[in-house]
Structure 1
Amino acid sequence: MPLGFAAPLTEAVRRLAELGYDGVEVQVRDTGAHAAEALTRTVEAAGLRVLGIGTGPVAAQDGLTLTDPSPDVRRHALGRLLGAARLAGELGVPVTLGQTRGTFLPGLEDMQRLWAERAVHRLAGEAADHGSRLLLEPQSRAGTSLWHTPAEALAFIDSLDAPAGLVLDTHHLDAEGVDLVPAVTEHAAVTGCLQLAARSARGPLTIGDPRLPALFSALREGGFTGWLTLEHTQDGDSPKAAARSWTALTDAAVVLP
């Protein structure tokens, strides 16, 4: 994944632990509960924890979405997501949904929205049945036709019969013109994950980013209990990118009262 640490899992968790990270969000493509033991063993051997299961590769690598006109593609997409939910349940962590919900085609919008909503209702139920929880990520309209803002995502979450929450991403909020700190303050309690990147070019964080202390304060005041993910470009050197972001985070945390 271009926005994730580019290395085999064993090497990635070792390098991240050396830098001081506490855990990892693992992006999965095609797997299920059977992978939980091996995944846990590999991550915990480095002293880290799996904090969440992401599903980005389902669409990003294989082009499978819940709104594809082909019933077979939609079925495969949902099957992948259900497997990820079962894996997340086995691990006792949330499962996240982003771009796999897809984009609309002219004339099919109403039907595609219905397909997506039905599928996500089933996904949320599967996650809950297996001890996990769905986190829905508001994303910019450049990548999906559904649920672009926290308010839109929450309105849909309210229709679910299973517990669910949000993933907030600084890049997508900026792209949609959402005022970052107020949005995080308002939604911190229902947010399971905050994804961070530098404002320009979605790269690693930089020391002195004025948003970071304000975001940390908003999370604390809002009762945030989730995790922070560094989801940004790697600039050809994942260890260096991870070190830069870690330094920026710890520098910003120092100034908090």
Structure 2
Amino acid sequence: MTARLPWPLAYTVSGDDCSSPVPLGYTAPLTEAVRSLAELGYDGVEVQVREAGARDAEALARTVEAAGLKVLGVGTGPVGAQDRLTLTDPSPDVRRHALHRLLGAARLAGELGVPVTLGQSRGTFLPGLADMQRLWAGRAVAQLAAEASDRGSRLLLEPQSRANTSLWNTPGEALAVIHCLDAPAGLVLDTHHLDAEDVDVVRAVTDHAGSTGCLQLAAPSTRGPLSVGDPRLPALFTALHEGGFTGWLTLEHTQDGDSAKAAARSWTALDAAAALS
């Protein structure tokens, strides 16, 4: 972590199983990405996976740890983004396939001893199917949370904007689902998605820091790398401190054509802001 941040600092990377680099993560292959991020001072990575499972944990950990970093979380964005598999697809076969992939990610996370996150693979509503789709998603998320818990992991549910999913767009909506689960679960808060839903970012972190396992950061408006002098960062750090946040921070943003420069820029902005909080 930076000299002043008390929480582990991660960067989004693509697992080797992804069909292409995730657009909001480091664009290089995993081995190259972790080496560069370690040189910049990051503590770990949040690995986005597409079809990886428990069998892949040893190789993944070996690659990341060889650079001196840790896997801090397993993300599932490519399940929906790259293969269009969602928990609310009208096709039962697609829903089963989506859940199978997500359960595999939960088993991978369990082997690594880290949380698994769920975002856009929840899907979007179709006319006349919203009630049924909500039921399908709720049942699948309950199964996913139970599997994660049984494997020594924990599900983190990410409120995302309506541009990505019809389900659970605000922290309050996501927490309502979490409170109905029989397994422990928490939140991922993403500054971009909160902004897109007109949710005050600092207020959301203040209110939900204790329920949040990960805070994902990007520059406002552009969703690009962070900039030195971003006025929200010191306030966010204060909210995390006062709320008893015990998770990790992840940079999840566009790369502006050069991941090494983007990662360095965000790291510098966070270190400068930490000095002011």
* Counterparts of 1:110 and 1:137, CA distance in 2: 21
TM-score, length-scaled by structure 2: 0.92
Distance 2:148 2:201 in 1: 29
* 1:182 paired residue number: 203
Matches within 5 A, 1:74-223: 74-223=95-244
The corresponding residue for 1:40 is 61
Shift of 1:168: 0.1
| Runs (5+) with no aligned partner, structure 1 | none
- CA-to-aligned-CA distance 1:209-253 (integer Å, 9 cap, x gap): 000000011001100010111000001110010001001000101
Structure 2: distance between partners of 1:90 and 1:180: 33
Pick one of 81, 85, 103 that aligns with 1:60: 81
Matches of 2:223 and 2:167, distance apart in 1: 22
Report the Cα offset of residue 152 of structure 1.
0.5
* Equivalent residue letter for 1:13: V
- Identity, % of aligned pairs? 82
Look up the equivalent residue of 1:170 and give its one-letter code. T
Q: How far apart, in 2, do the equivalents of 1:180 and 1:246 lie?
A: 20
Question: Could you list the per-position Cα deviations for residues 130-188 of structure 1 after superposition, in whole angstroms to 9, with x for gaps in the alignment?
Answer: 00000000011111000011011001100000000000000000011111111101100
- How far residue 200 of structure 1 moved from its aligned partner, in angstroms, is 2.0
CA–CA separation in structure 1 for the residues paired with 2:130 and 2:209 = 31
Q: Report the RMSD for the aligned CA atoms in angstroms.
A: 0.5
Give CA-to-partner distance per residue, 1:75-105, whole Å, 9 cap, x none: 1100000000000000000000000000000
Q: What is the alpha-carbon distance in structure 2 between the residues aligned to residue 19 and residue 209 of structure 1? A: 20
Question: Which contiguous aligned blocks of 4+ residues in structure 1 show a shift greater than 4 angstroms?
Answer: none
TM-score (norm 1): 0.99
2-structure distance, mates of 1:20, 1:221: 25
CA distance in 1, matches of 2:201, 2:130: 29
Give the aligned length: 256
Distance 1:96 1:59 in 2: 13
* 2:45 corresponds to 1:24: yes
